[in-house]
Amino acid sequence: MKERSNGKGNGAAKPGANGHEVSSREHPSGGPALIVGGAGFIGTNLADRLLRDGWTVRLFDNLSRPGVEQNARWLKETHGDRFDVRVADVRDAAALREAVRGVDQVFHFAAQVAVTTSLADPLHDFDVNARGTVHLLEALRAVDRPPSLVFTSTNKVYGGLEDVPVTQQCRRYEPYDLLTRTYGIGEDRPLDFHSPYGCSKGAADQYVLDYARSFGIPAVVFRMSCIYGPHQFGTEDQGWVAHFLIRALEGRPITLYGDGMQVRDVLFAEDLVEAFLLAQANVHDLSGQAFNIGGGPENTTSLLELIDLIEELNGEKPVVRHDDWRIGDQRYYVSDTRKFRVATGWRPRVGVQAGVQRLHRWLRETRGISGRDPRRSPASISVPVAGVKAGR
Ligand SMILES: NC(=O)c1ccc[n+]([C@@H]2O[C@H](COP(=O)([O-])OP(=O)(O)OC[C@H]3O[C@@H](n4cnc5c(N)ncnc54)[C@H](O)[C@@H]3O)[C@@H](O)[C@H]2O)c1
């Protein structure tokens, strides 16, 4: 693993909070880190970490996602003046050109994030996700020495995976194929964009890789599975782990689309942030490449299994309703993260039970919801969740 070397004064690599080796640029002499979509769930978790590590941070966000203004407020209360928020839109090329000025690293998370809303308004989805990303890339291309970029793509670029035969095992689907069952879906899967969201994110994913190839912009693409954690305002359309927990805490019904045996790998935000830092620290080796990022085969859950876990945490069964399958819903998606692991040493540290418990606690605290405090350690939770390992 090599450090990033862009002539801006990097230090030597040293272990990070999770034991990964990360760049020691905790008090960088260069400019701020720019997080486009930085008031969102993932952006806030990253901003918090960067600010704790001594960076200055610039957030660029139009605050269109309901709830995210609370994230911006929380960051301000927690970190004071070492960051600024530019309330602006990625469809505004001039605002992006202004925002990238003098920055050292860029993370691009701003997006229309849901398949459902992309079906309702494909043009808006295209404008934000595809055109907005090209605006950002053009802004970077106009800079003399472009800062490095990490872009968050999605597993949806691999389509519905209908050709991956699955079998039913208890309350989940599992692939027949031993290799897929053991390692998950790798980056060698053919791209197969489903839904306007899949198309717009997939196009952006390809533009980022091509700007690395054609214009030498140092850039890495993460094709991400389900991410969950504090600061997530999950809805029925996106952020299902948080959404299920919120519904259950509020005593409102959860709708399961399909039979609930769909399996996903889930990744706790803290582990994702660690991966972002590693991607930036190693960007000159990784540039121009896409990586599947998620909890991997050791951190999977079906929807039904998550509901069992929530019942365990809340002490009562959530109310569940059923509806038809949604377009493009994969029966099984688990990331094969070996490529990124080999490149950087990264691996997820927070297991499903520990992570869900932490999100549950955050939701209860921030919503002032009292109730049973799940004081038992994650390892002592007895719910039988296949494929789910207790967290560290
Ligand atoms: N959360 C997941 O499970 C997941 C999985 C795969 C990929 N992703 C991708 O990761 C990124 C971040 O996801 P998230 O969960 O933090 O979502 P989020 O909705 O919490 O954050 C996105 C942020 O972008 C902002 N935004 C939306 N449209 C904008 C626009 N036109 N201009 C400026 N800002 C705008 C929103 O206000 C929000 O703060 C997205 O690109 C998403 O597609 C997320």
Q: Is 269's C-beta closer than 6 angstroms to any atom of ligand 1?
A: no
Cα distance from N-terminal residue to C-terminal residue, the chain: 25
Pocket test for ligand 1, best of 65, 112, 201, 226 (most atoms within 8 A of CB): 65
For residues 356 and 310, what is the distance between their CA atoms, to the nearest angstrom? 8
Q: Tally Cβ neighbours within 10 Å of residue 370.
A: 7
Predicted local confidence at residue 176, as pLDDT: 96
Q: Is 128's C-beta closer than 6 angstroms to any atom of ligand 1?
A: yes
Q: Is residue 197 annotated as part of the catalytic site, yes or no?
A: yes
Predicted local confidence at residue 98, as pLDDT: 98
CA 102–ligand 1 middle distance (angstroms): 24
Q: What mean pLDDT is reported for the chain?
A: 89
Does 24 have pLDDT greater than 80? no
Long-range contacts of 211-215 (CB under 8 A, 24+ apart): 211/137, 211/140, 211/141, 212/287, 212/288, 213/288, 215/141, 215/146
**Residue 7 falls in which region: left (phi positive, over 0), alpha (psi -120 to 50) or beta:** left
How many helices (H) does the chain have, and how many strands (E)?
14, 17
Domains present along the chain, CATH in parentheses: 14-162+179-227+269-298+329-350 (3.40.50.720)
Q: Is 244's C-beta closer than 6 angstroms to any atom of ligand 1?
A: no
Which residue has tokens 């299994």?
305
pTM above 0.85, yes or no: yes
- pLDDT, mean of residues 290-315: 97
